[in-house]
């Protein structure tokens, strides 16, 4: 496998080169964005690793330029920029994954294996949308069996839509995909090509609204003429309830009062374990319950921007799992966490949420987590999608069959069946082995992260996660899997 590394830091590049060559990868390197772009075109690597802060074209510009040429080679952004807006920019620019430096060797190799495994899956031969069919091998288009005559640019425009059938494209994005930087047209040119494409489709009997204009936003395939979603009416959400994700301050006012008592109940569970320890009456069962309460608090508090509370909950989780937990240390940590929950108001400082485009609002997500409270938080975050919640992992296969999700989001720590167990079972299933699967967990151990990727996870998201990053990662995975 040939990998192209675009990195200007010779020390980091040397480390990556050493790691990859030990794994028998072929590595080529560029030290600036423009050279990296030229090498991407000339050498046709199987995967690219791109830093953001590089001379010439920066990593974000480079990703966009590569995708504008129709190159679908997997891209991993490896950078020191850890802010959520940086992650969103990278994913929206066309990167398949985003990894923050410093990272462990195991996690880097695990993420590379996932990307390479995905790109070796057999490509889709025919691109279809209802009665519309495009054969990229023969470069032919049919509507209900009737040939469609298109000019070259109109054909490429239709192929762009069909490779991303759930996506809405702005005029600027269409220009980025179909024209080079040296030959950038005016946005009105896009409108002219859309008109020509519609005329060609209508002559073959297609409806005039097959290519739909969304006022002020762009163009997409009309879902009315696409494939009918397979849903269980008993579990399908009411389409009228679909909205874009709640803005941060609205989320605080509507969600925090509802979930604060539940968080305090978990704090009480931790105190029960602490009291039992102080009285030398801590049973293994109560110790496990105490650990689980701390683990769940660590994941939930960060979602509301309470980073100090998250850190305290993680320290409590480590404390109760230690060989000989010190009651005084536990009491100190518990009192600090109680003070944090009693006095601190949630502060979500993220920018306006990155809402999924209208074309992605039809995507069906299955969220699996044994913490019902956290599932409700995720449901608020993901109101721009069709979401089904599952708190009992033993019902996973029943929900999978009846709901037919297009993406699954799994928690790691669940009773009876962990998220890792479910992911492994999915990858062994001929029917579901390619279903996009994301892991959302408080675990941060590089060994566990590598284990998850080796079991077939497509992305690993650490709790706490903000709404902006979560929506961006899910939207990116849907576009890349079902689109280009």
| Average pLDDT over every residue of 432-455 | 82
Which residues make Cβ contacts (< 8 Å) with residue 238, sequence separation at least 6?
Answer: none
Which residues make Cβ contacts (< 8 Å) with residue 84, sequence separation at least 6?
Answer: 350, 466, 468, 469
Parallel, antiparallel, or unpaired: how do β-strands 97-100 and 75-79 relate? parallel
Which of the two residues, 43 and 332, has the higher pLDDT score? 332
Q: Which CATH class is domain 127-225?
A: mainly alpha
Whole-number Å distance between alpha carbons of 299 and 296 = 5
CB 159 within 8 A of CB 141: no
Which residues make Cβ contacts (< 8 Å) with residue 157, sequence separation at least 6?
Answer: 174, 178, 193, 194, 197
Whole-number Å distance between alpha carbons of 410 and 419 = 5
Which of the two residues, 239 and 19, has the higher pLDDT score? 19
* pLDDT confidence bin for 207, thresholds 50/70/90: very high
Domain with CATH 1.20.120 in the chain: 248-343
The H-or-E segment that residue 317 falls in is helix 307-321
Whole-number Å distance between alpha carbons of 216 and 408 = 32
391-423 pLDDT per residue, tens: 888 888 888 888 888 899 998 888 777 888 888
Domain with CATH 3.40.50.2300 in the chain: 2-119, 239-246+352-482
Which residues make Cβ contacts (< 8 Å) with residue 216, sequence separation at least 6?
Answer: none
Parallel, antiparallel, or unpaired: how do β-strands 146-147 and 140-143 relate? antiparallel
Q: What sign does the dihedral 357-361-363-366 (CA atoms) show? A: positive
- The pLDDT value given to residue 472: 84
The CATH code of domain 2-119 reads 3.40.50.2300
| Average pLDDT over every residue of 153-169 | 85
The CATH code of domain 239-246+352-482 reads 3.40.50.2300
Which of the two residues, 302 and 6, has the higher pLDDT score? 6
The residue behind tokens 């794994």 is 23
Decide if pLDDT at 242 tops 60.
no
- Report the Cα 103 to chain-centroid distance in Å: 19
The CATH code of domain 248-343 reads 1.20.120
Residue of 361, 385, 389 lying closest to 375 (CA atoms):
389
Is pTM, for the whole model, over 0.75? Answer: no
Other Cβ atoms less than 10 A from the Cβ of 242: the count is 15
Domain with CATH 1.10.10.10 in the chain: 127-225
DSSP-assigned states of every residue in 238-294: PGGG--PPPPHHHHHHHHHHHHHHHHHHHHHHHHHHHHHHHTT---HHHHHHHHHHH
**Mean pLDDT across the chain, nearest whole number?**
80
Buried b (16+ CB within 10 A) or exposed e, 260-274: eebbeebbebbbebb
What angle (nearest 5°) sits at the alpha carbon of residue 445, between those of residues 336 and 350? 60
The H-or-E segment that residue 411 falls in is strand 407-411
Secondary structure class of 95 (helix, strand, coil): coil
| Average pLDDT over every residue of 82-87 | 84
């Amino acid at each position: 496998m040939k990998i192209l590394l675009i990195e200007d830091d010779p020390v980091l590049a040397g480390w990556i080169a050493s790691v990859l060559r030990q794994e028998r990868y072929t590595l080529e390197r560029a030290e600036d964005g423009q050279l990296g772009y030229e090498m991407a075109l000339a050498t046709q690597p199987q995967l690219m690793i791109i830093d953001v802060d590089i001379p010439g074209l920066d990593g974000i510009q480079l990703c966009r330029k590569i995708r504008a040429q129709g190159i679908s080679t997997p891209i991993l952004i490896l950078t020191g920029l850890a802010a959520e807006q940086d992650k969103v920019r990278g994913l929206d620019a066309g990167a398949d994954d985003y990894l923050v430096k410093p990272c462990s060797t195991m996690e880097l190799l695990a993420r590379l294996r996932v990307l390479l495994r995905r790109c070796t899956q057999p490509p889709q031969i025919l691109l279809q949308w209802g009665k519309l069919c495009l054969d990229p091998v023969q470069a032919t288009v049919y509507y209900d069996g009737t040939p469609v005559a298109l000019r070259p640019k109109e054909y490429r425009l239709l192929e762009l839509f069909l490779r991303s059938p759930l996506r809405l494209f702005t005029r600027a994005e269409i220009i980025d995909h179909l024209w080079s930087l040296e030959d950038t047209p005016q946005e009105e040119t896009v409108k002219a090509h859309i008109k020509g494409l519609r005329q060609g489709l209508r002559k073959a009997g297609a409806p005039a609204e097959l290519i739909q204009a969304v006022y002020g936003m762009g163009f997409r395939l009309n879902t009315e003429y696409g494939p009918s979603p397979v849903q269980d009416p008993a579990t399908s959400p009411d389409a009228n309830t679909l909205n874009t994700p709640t803005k941060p301050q609205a989320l605080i006012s509507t969600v925090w009062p509802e979930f604060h008592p539940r968080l305090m109940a978990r704090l009480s569970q931790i105190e029960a374990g602490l009291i039992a320890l102080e009285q030398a009456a801590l049973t293994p069962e109560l110790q496990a319950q105490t650990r689980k309460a701390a683990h769940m608090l660590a994941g939930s508090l960060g979602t509301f921007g309470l980073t100090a509370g998250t850190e305290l909950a993680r320290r409590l989780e480590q404390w109760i799992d230690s060989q000989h937990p010190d009651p005084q240390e536990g009491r100190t940590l518990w009192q600090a966490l109680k003070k944090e929950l009693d006095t601190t108001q949630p502060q979500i400082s993220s920018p306006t949420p990155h809402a999924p485009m209208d074309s992605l609002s039809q995507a069906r997500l299955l969220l699996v987590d044994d913490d019902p409270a956290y599932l409700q938080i995720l449901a608020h975050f993901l109101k721009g999608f069709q979401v089904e919640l599952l708190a009992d992992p033993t019902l996973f296969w029943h929900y999978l069959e009846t709901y037919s999700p297009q993406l699954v989001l799994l928690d790691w720590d669940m009773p009876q069946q962990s998220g890792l167990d479910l992911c492994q079972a999915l990858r062994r299933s001929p029917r579901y082995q390619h279903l996009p699967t994301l892991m959302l967990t408080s675990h941060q151990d590089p060994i566990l992260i590598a284990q998850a990727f080796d079991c077939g996870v497509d992305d690993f998201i650490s709790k706490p996660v903000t709404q902006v990053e979560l929506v961006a990662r899910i939207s990116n995975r849907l576009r890349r899997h079902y689109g280009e």
